[in-house]
Amino acid sequence: MDLIEGRNPLIEALKAGRPVSKILLDSNIKRHGAVERILTLSKSRGVSVEFVDRQIIEKQSSTGSSQGVIAFAEVKKFVDLGELIDISLAKPDKPLYLLLDGIEDPHNLGAILRTAEATGVHGVVIRERRAAGITPAAVKASAGAVEYVDISRVANISQAVVTLKKKGIWVTGIDMDGQTDYRSVDFKLPSAIVIGGEGQGLSELVRRRCDWVASIPMRGKIVSLNASVAAAVVMYEALRQRDGSLRR
Going residue by residue through the chain (248 aa), what tens digit of pLDDT does each one get?
899 999 999 999 999 999 999 999 999 999 999 999 999 999 999 999 999 999 999 999 988 889 999 999 999 999 999 999 999 988 899 999 999 998 999 999 999 999 999 999 999 999 998 889 999 999 999 999 999 999 999 999 999 999 999 999 999 999 988 889 999 999 999 999 999 988 788 999 999 999 999 999 988 887 778 999 999 999 999 999 998 644 44
Contact predicate 226/109, CB 8 Å = no
State the DSSP code for 184: G
Q: Is the dihedral of CA 113, 119, 124, 130 positive or negative?
A: negative
pLDDT of residue 223: 72
Query: According to the model, what pLDDT value does residue 224 have?
Result: 77
The structural domains of the chain, with segments of one domain joined by +, span 2-73, 81-242
Tell if the pTM clears 0.75, that is, is over it. yes
pLDDT at site 40: 97
CB-CB contact of 213 with 203 (8 Å): no
SS3 (DSSP) at 247: coil
pLDDT score of 245? 44
Q: Which phi and psi angles does 29 have, rounded to 5°?
A: -70, 145
Contact 158, 209 (CB under 8 A): yes
**What is the CATH number that goes with domain 2-73?**
3.30.1330.30
What DSSP string describes 166-178?
A: HTT-EEEEE-TT-
Answer whether 137's CB lies under 8 Å from 110's CB. yes
Phi, psi values for residue 38, rounded to 5°: -60, -45
Res 113: pLDDT: 97
Cβ–Cβ under 8 Å, residues 14 and 27: no
Q: What are the percentages of helix, strand and coil residues in the chain, rounded to 5?
A: 40, 20, 40
* CATH number 3.90.1150.10 is the correct assignment for the domain at 81-242: no
Query: For residues 18 and 108, what is the distance between their CA atoms, to the nearest angstrom?
Result: 23
CA dihedral 32, 38, 39, 45 (to 10 degrees): 160
Say what the alpha-carbon torsion angle 107, 110, 112, 117 is, to the nearest 10 degrees.
Answer: -160
The set of residues, in sequence order, having a beta carbon less than 8 Å from that of 76 and lying 6+ positions away, is 2, 18, 134, 139, 146, 151
